Amino acid sequence: MKHFYIPTALLLAVSSTWAPARAQNLPVDVTNTLRIEYDDNVFTTGSDSSTGKVDSFKIVNTLEFLVDTRQDANYLGIRYAPSIVWYEDRPGDSTDINHVLDLIASRQFSPTSVFQFRNSFRYAQEPELMDSDVTLRRRNDYYYNSANASYERQLIPDRTTLRLDGRYVILRYDESDVADFNDYDRFVLGSDLVYRVAPNTDAGGQIRYESVQYENDLRDVDSVQLGLVLNRIFNPKWHGDFRAGIEFRDADNALEQSSEAPYVEGSFVFLPVERTRISVGAGYSKDLSPINRFAQQTRTRIFGRITHPLTAATVLSADAAYAMGNFDLDDSTSAFDPEIHQDGDETAVQFSLRLDHRINVRNSIEAVIQYTDLDSDVRPNEDFDRTRVSLGWKYSL
C-alpha cells in the first residue's frame, strides 16, 4: 500500500501552489484545511501496557475536492480528501497518508420513484477505524469500502411507500497476520413498507437479511430481522424515528449457534430555536464483535448531539456517546480459552466539543476537543483513554 505515498504527496504539493490560481476555472470546489493537534495516545495504548502512552503533536493537512452537479432528474456528488499527517514524536514512521473518497448518485425516475447509490472508500495508516459505531483498533494499514444502494417507490402516492436497500462492506488489512483474523465481507439486504396512518405519522414493517464473513470464519454470522418502524412529526420543532423487532441469528462457530434476540432503536430531533438542533437516541441489539474470541456481542448505546450558533459566524457543537457491549460465553468461539480468557462487559465513552468560526467567505477556523475511553472486562490489557486537542484553519480556494 505504500504506492499511495508518491501520487498523494505530489497532489498535495502541486495543488497548494496551482489551485489558488486556477480554482475559479474548475468545475469543483476546493478547500484546504491545516490543523495542529496534540494527541496524548497516538497508538491507543492500553493502560496496562509496559511501554505506556506515546503522545505527540501532529500537523495534519487535508485537501478536499467537491463535485456537486444536478441535471434534470440526475444528481452526482463526489468528495475526495487526501491528507498528510506528520507526527513530531512518534516512534517509527513519522508520516501517514490517508485517503477519503465519497460518492453519491441518484436518479428520479418519476415523481413517485427514486434510486440512490452511495459509496464510501477509506484508506488509512492509523490504528483506529469506526465501523457501525464499533471501534476497531489494529496497528496496521487498511482499506475499507461501503457500497449502499436504495430504491424508493410510492405504491400509493402520499400514502404507501416501498423502500428496498442493500449494502456491501469490505475491510482489508495490509499484513497477513492481522488480515487472517480481521478481514471481512458484510452484505445487507432489506425492505421497508411504510403506510401514512395520519398526516404526521408513518408506520410500517421491515425485514433485513445480513451476512458477515470473516477471513478465518470464526465470527461468521447470518441474521434476519423482522420488525416495525414508526416515524412521527410531533410538531414543526420535534420529530422522532423508532424501530423494533426480533432478530434471528446463526453464528456457525459460536458455542450457541442459533439465537433470537429483540432489537430496538429510537431517535428524536428537537429544534428549540432557529439554527439550534438537538438530537438524542438509544439502541439495543446484537452486533458485530471486535474481538476474535466472540462471534457477536449484545450492545446498548446512548448518544446525543447539540449544535448551537453563538453568533451569526460562530457555531458550537457537542457530541457524546456511551456504548456497553456484553460478551457472553454462549457467543464464544474456538479462540476462547477459559484458562486465560473471560466473558464480561466492555464500555466505551466518546465525547467531542467543536467551535467553528467563519472569518470571511474564504477563511474559517475551528477548535476541537475529543475524548475516548474504553474499559473492558474481556480485554483488560487494552483499556485505554485518549484525548485530542486541535486548532485548524480552513481556506476555500
Q: Does 35 have pLDDT greater than 80?
A: yes
Q: Which of 372, 389, 390 is nearest to 46 (CA)?
A: 372
Give the rounded percent of residues in the chain with a pLDDT score beyond 70: 89
271 and 299 Cβ atoms separated by less than 8 Å: no
244 and 265 Cβ atoms separated by less than 8 Å: yes
Give, in degrees to the nearest 5, the angle at Cα 150 between 30 and 278: 65
Give the tens place of pLDDT for each residue, 92-122.
788 999 999 999 999 999 999 999 999 999 9
- Residues in CB range of 260: below 8 A, 6 or more apart: 246, 247, 248, 249
Q: Are strands 160-173 and 184-198 parallel, antiparallel or unpaired?
A: antiparallel
Mean pLDDT of 186-204: 96
Q: State the residue for C-alpha cell 489494529.
A: 138
Note the residue count of the chain.
397
Instruction: State residue 190's pLDDT score.
Output: 97
Q: How confident is the model at residue 284 (pLDDT cuts 50, 70, 90)?
A: very high
Q: Does 129 have pLDDT greater than 60?
A: no
Q: List the end-to-end C-alpha distance of the chain, in Å, as a whole number.
A: 30
Exposure string of 110-144, with b = 16+ CB inside 10 Å and e = fewer, is eeeebebebbbebbbbbbebebeebebbbebbbbb
Give the tens place of pLDDT for each residue, 320-351.
999 999 999 999 999 999 989 999 999 999 99
Q: What does the alpha-carbon distance between residue 378 and residue 383 come to, in Å, rounded to a whole number? A: 10
Q: How confident is the model at residue 130 (pLDDT cuts 50, 70, 90)?
A: low
Q: How confident is the model at residue 10 (pLDDT cuts 50, 70, 90)?
A: very low
Instruction: State residue 57's pLDDT score.
Output: 95
Exposure string of 4-41, with b = 16+ CB inside 10 Å and e = fewer, is beeebeeebeebeeebeeeeeeeebebbbbebebebeb
Mean pLDDT of 17-30: 57
Query: What residue segments make up the domains of the chain, in order of their start?
Result: 2-396
**Phi and psi (nearest 5°) for 180?**
-60, -30
Instruction: State residue 371's pLDDT score.
Output: 94
172 and 179 Cβ atoms separated by less than 8 Å: yes
53, three cell numbers: 502512552
pTM of the entire predicted model? 0.85
Give the tens place of pLDDT for each residue, 140-175.
788 999 999 999 999 999 899 999 999 999 999 988
CA-to-CA separations, 388 to 32, 40, 59, 182, 354, in angstroms, rounded: 21, 7, 13, 27, 12
What is the CATH class of 2-396? mainly beta
